[in-house]
Amino acid sequence: MESAPLLEACGLACERGDRILFENLHFSVPAGAMLHIEGRNGAGKTSLLRILCGLAQPMAGTVHWRGRSVGRWREAFLAEVSYVGHHHGVKGSLTPEENLAVARGLAIAHPTVDIAETLRCVGLAAYCDHPCQELSAGQRRRVALARLLAVRTSLWILDEPLTSLDRAGVRMVEGMLHTHLAAGGAVVVVTHHPLQLDGMPVQRISLDR
């Protein structure tokens, strides 16, 4: 029997200016599954991610989390969501340690992974006390992705997470995704790059009209 969805979208529609990007969009993401959103530039992929994580409102439709309307249970939903946007959101004047400390202070800290361990997992242990403005674009992306490990959330919403990463970084992200899904988490991702997640359930929807 298929498990009940963690995340469900019912009849979502979005407009930008006087143009409808998408409408009547339905999908569900059960625990342990990933939804890969595809579409050409301007199709509304980032707009959809912003709706799903509560940063924007749809023109029509609803989003449900664990069977409850996100609009009515917003605080409980946001406590279970991590969002990494196309822009990494890392503060350059802070070190990786300080950026993660801020993230942990705003969320539910992971009970078993401390900041030093998190930075080791993403290959930044040697740069823990360097201001992020001194790091490369790929290293700053790793800091942004480290937030996924430093806090405890069930749903990861990721907009082009592989931007600026080398091959080792891509493999790191694939490992993070595999571990998260195997533990019963869910992922919604936009990426133009292929992901190797052998054995993990991946759904795909396209916003191309």
What is the rounded distance in angstroms from the CA atom of residue 198 to the CA atom of residue 202? 10
- pLDDT score of 1: 37
Give, for all 209 residues of the chain, the pLDDT tens digit: 356 799 999 999 999 888 999 999 999 999 999 999 999 999 999 999 999 998 899 999 999 999 999 988 888 899 999 999 988 899 999 999 999 999 988 888 777 788 999 999 999 999 999 999 999 999 999 999 999 999 989 999 999 999 999 999 999 999 999 999 999 999 999 998 889 888 889 999 999 87
Helix (H) or strand (E) holding 123: none
pLDDT of 184-203, one tens digit each?
999 999 998 889 888 889 99
pLDDT of 32-56, one tens digit each?
999 999 999 999 999 999 999 988 9
Q: What residue spans of the chain are helical by DSSP H?
A: 45-52, 74-78, 96-105, 115-121, 137-150, 167-182
pLDDT of 76-87, one tens digit each?
899 999 999 988
CA 60 to chain CA centroid, Å, is: 23
pTM of the model: 0.93
CA-derived radius of gyration, the chain: 17
